[in-house]
Amino acid sequence: MTKNLQNNQKPFLDIFPQKYFSYLRLNNFSHHLVKQQVTLAKKYWHNQQIAQWRETIHQLGKLAEDYPQSQGIIIEFLSEFVRHNAPYNSSAKAENSSTLALRPEIPTVCTIIAKISRQKSLENQQLDLSYTDIRGANLPGANLERANLYHVNLAGANLSQANLSGAILTAANLSGANLSGANLSGAILSAANLSQANLAGADLSRANLYLAHLHGAILDNTRLDGANLRDSEIAGK
């Protein structure tokens, strides 16, 4: 099978056909089979059309929901897809904008990742979305606990009520982001851009905000006990 796929460059849904998902649900789950399919999928994602991707992404989300054993490898694959297709843009103009013309399937992938990452089976696996540009992402209530979000661009993103406790957000761009009610306890936010961010009711206890930019941020009822605010920039400080 692998040899045929490599030779014929079959489309993604031929690697993950509809009947394949049905087969997994009706028969004994095979972690090895899922791993094999995801490995093959990594080789061919750049050849796929948007419609094919959206269908496959939803199928992967459903598979992860039905079979917790598959969640680790699926979320690893989807995270790699985001890193590959939404790399961090270091240009000042692009970095300061809160909108971006993302590949249409990226927001869907991020939503599926956030949904899968809530599962307890992933407690010992770190989600890696470092060096990605996913500004404007709509991820309310997402579980990103201890995630590697180093140098991520989440400007203008909706992360209200999200769990970001212990997350690595060093040099992250969260300008204008909605972080109201978010759990950022123990998060590493050194040199992060939180200007104009909504942090109302957020928990930043024990967070590292060394050199962070908080100019214009909404800090109503924000918990900052034990937080490191050394050399951070806060309006009116």
**pLDDT (tens digit, 9 = 90+) per residue, 111-142?**
888 888 766 555 667 899 999 999 999 999 99
pLDDT at res. 106: 84
* Gap between the Cα atoms of 205 and 227, Å rounded: 5
20-24, 42-46, 51-55: which has the minimum mean pLDDT? 20-24
Per residue in 69-112, pLDDT tens? 778 878 888 898 899 889 987 654 555 555 555 667 788 888 88
For residues 186-219, one letter each, b for 16 or more C-beta atoms within 10 angstroms of the residue's C-beta and e for the rest, the string is bbbbbbbbbbbbbbbbbbbbbbbbbbbbbbebbb
Residue with more model confidence, 50 or 155: 155
All domains of the chain, ordered by start, with CATH?
A: 2-119 (no CATH), 135-237 (2.160.20.80)
What stretches of the chain show up as alpha helix (H) in DSSP?
Answer: 2-8, 12-15, 18-26, 31-44, 50-66, 71-85, 92-96, 106-116
CA–CA separation, 96 vs 103, rounded Å?
19
Angle at 141 (CA atoms; ends 155, 168), nearest 5 degrees: 55
12 confidence band (pLDDT: 50, 70, 90): very low
Q: What is the mean pLDDT of the chain?
A: 79
Longest dimension (CA), the chain: 65
Q: What are the phi and psi torsion angles at 58 (to 5°)?
A: -65, -35
Is 184's pLDDT higher than 80? yes
The better pLDDT of the pair 193, 105 is held by 193
Report yes or no: 179 and 198 within 8 Å, Cβ to Cβ: yes
- Cα–Cα distance between 67 and 38 in angstroms, integer? 15
Q: Which residue has the higher pLDDT, 54 or 220?
A: 220
